[in-house]
A and B are shown apart, each in its own frame.
Chain A
Amino acid sequence: MTTPSKIVTNDALADSEPHFVAPGLVDASGPEPRLVAGKCKACGALSFPKAVVCPACLSQDIAAAHLASEGMLYSFATVHQAPKNWIVPYHLGYVDLTDGIRVLAHVEGTPRIEAKVKLGVARVGTAADGTALMSYVFTPVA
């Protein structure tokens, strides 16, 4: 198994002015990155990505909420052929978070089904202009 990308330090983030592939999905402003979900104020349903309208009760009153940052790797695939911008090969997996949400994510290190994984941020690709493309990733916890 290969390790397609490195965890980028805060210094490196500042230097390369990285660009998040989907900025709305992750809050990287604090010391630890968090996934941004929606929590319906009317019925409490969680949505990820944060919904504009609640699919459970149709309310539009939805607050931002952070998802759990730990979970279990349900399955993964090692992608060798992908649209340009991505650094191949990369591991893509479904992570079952402890709060009941399943998220798709790049997986760093050596993925193993049912491994406990933890949220981080890493470089996952390169934009056409050379800018680093960042996203949230999960890494198996030793």
Chain B
Amino acid sequence: MGKSMSKAYVLGTGMIPFGKFPDRTLADIGWPSLREAVLESGVPTSSIDAIYCGSALGGMMSGQRVAKAIGLSGMPIVNVENACSSSSSAIAQACNAIAAGKYDTVAVVGVEKLTKFGGGTLPLENEDWEVTQGMVMPALYAMRANRYMHEFGLTPKQLGEVSVKAHDHGALNPNAQIRKRVTIEEVMAARPVAGPFTLWHCCPTGDGSAALILASQKVAKKHKPAAVHVAASEVTSGKYTNGYRDMTVAELTVRGSHEAYEMAGIAPNDIDVAEIHDAFTIAELMYYEAFGWAKKGEAYQLLSSGATSLGGKIPVNPSGGLLSRGHPVGATGAAQAVEIVRQLEGRAGKHQVEGAKIGLTHATGGGIAGFDHGACSIHIFAK
């Protein structure tokens, strides 16, 4: 990234409202987003050079199954699996290929159907020894939350306010899976999942897809001269240790955000709007600190000041985030990118962040023993 000649531009976006679609195939969940992105871009399907499809649990050839439904086949189609970062990693592959001059027009689609697992917590890899001892994703985040509360005096009620904010935003978003406000009392009284989390502290499982058409400057000039561009695109992996680790620091996101800010040549306070990986309430607070928007232990003060709500200084997760918009794992990164591009283009509707010029997306996840997370992918988009 960096040199203007090699930047990727976003020509089209597509997304379906997230929800539960047990009767639809993965392809039928995916193609409407891809179709919308292609039509919005104005690019003829014959000029799409390659497709990257992000899916964590979609199974073999997810991209081919989705693309063929709208007559796209024959070009290179690469399926990218990187847990919660699958489709953001797919965007990064597209950006790399455009930056290298390999392709001019690339489609990216993120698609997931979690209802095929019949509900409950996300299935984890049984070869992982922590899974053999009863590890589930909510427990991993709950351990972070309990340690953070222990060290910094955060209360369960303060933690619950993250969920209230998320659902205030999501209620305004027609693409959100949960379009309902919740009160702090409802958050506190809901069924326990993994203490200190109740149901409202956890993102819902569901199905969904989102897609983007990315292009070189040459193609962008022709189809959309004012297109939003990708100012930073990075993917990194967690660092393994079987020793002690400070679970109140999102080490992987700290590293990734430094790289992303440097690529874009900006500082944390230059971000106008962000979509970050709030899979569980504690995650949003820890990431405020990891991205440099709050000092260590002071994330709650940022939340309670209203700075991260719509109308604040740096609205975070205006879409409702994973907690409200939903988290069909492999589709999340692409959905965040669609949201931020539409925000920068001023067409986000009722949850528009006025005047946003620089936006950030962040998808991280993959529970593996010995890692903070398996993967993290951060993008910065600019007008």
Contact = CB atoms under 8 A, between A and B. Distances in A.
A137 B236 CA distance: 34
Given A75-B143, A113-B147, A82 B136 contact: yes
Contacts of B142: 77-79
A100 B245 CA distance: 11
Contact of A80 (B134, B146, B192): B192
A50 to B, nearest CB: 10
Nearest to A104: B130
Nearest to A84: B120
Given A79-B139, A81-B120, A100 B240 contact: no
Nearest to A82: B136
A96 interface: yes
Interface stretch (A9-17, A41-49, A57-65): A41-49
A93 B194 CA distance: 12
Q: Which of B120, B133, B135, B146 has the most chain A CB within a 10 Å cutoff?
A: B133
A106 interface: yes
A93 B221 CA distance: 55
Contact of B134 (A86, A101, A113): A86
Interface string A91-125: 01110100011101110000001100000000011
Nearest to A137: B133
A98 to B, nearest CB: 11
B147 A74 contact: yes
Contact of B193 (A74, A81, A93, A94): A81
A102 B138 contact: no
B129 A113 contact: no
A112 to B, nearest CB: 9
Nearest to B126: A83
B133 A78 contact: no
Nearest to A81: B193
B314 to A, nearest CB: 29
Nearest to B248: A75
B150 A79 contact: no
Interface residues of B, number: 31
A80 B195 contact: yes
B257 to A, nearest CB: 24
Contacts of B133: 21-22, 92, 104-106, 135
Q: Which of B134, B242, B244 has the most chain A CB within a 10 Å cutoff?
A: B134
B264 interface: no
Interface string B178-198: 000000000000011111000
Interface string B273-302: 000000000000000000000000000000
B194 A46 contact: no
A124 B147 contact: no
A36 to B, nearest CB: 11
Contact of B194 (A55, A74, A78, A105): A78
Contacts of A46: 242
A45 B13 CA distance: 49
Contacts of B130: 104
Nearest to A100: B243
A90 B146 CA distance: 15
Given A25-B129, A75-B143, A113-B146, A83 B244 contact: no
B325 to A, nearest CB: 22
B69 interface: no
B136 A81 contact: yes
Contacts of A78: 142, 192, 194-195
Contacts of A22: 129, 132-133
B369 interface: yes
Interface of A: 21-22, 25, 46-49, 55, 74-83, 86, 89-90, 92-94, 96, 100-102, 104-106, 113-114, 124-125, 135
User: A-B pairs with the 4 shortest C-beta distances?
Assistant: A77-B142, A78-B195, A75-B147, A22-B132
Interface of B: 120-121, 129-130, 132-136, 138-140, 142-147, 150, 191-195, 240, 242-245, 247, 369
Given A80-B192, A101-B242, A114-B150, 13 more contacts: A21-B132, A21-B133, A55-B240, A75-B147, A77-B139, A81-B121, A81-B138, A81-B194, A93-B143, A102-B243, A104-B133, A104-B369, A106-B133
24 contacts: A22-B129, A22-B133, A25-B132, A46-B242, A55-B240, A74-B244, A75-B143, A75-B147, A75-B150, A79-B134, A79-B138, A81-B121, A82-B121, A82-B134, A86-B134, A92-B134, A96-B244, A102-B244, A102-B245, A104-B135, A104-B369, A106-B134, A113-B150, A124-B134
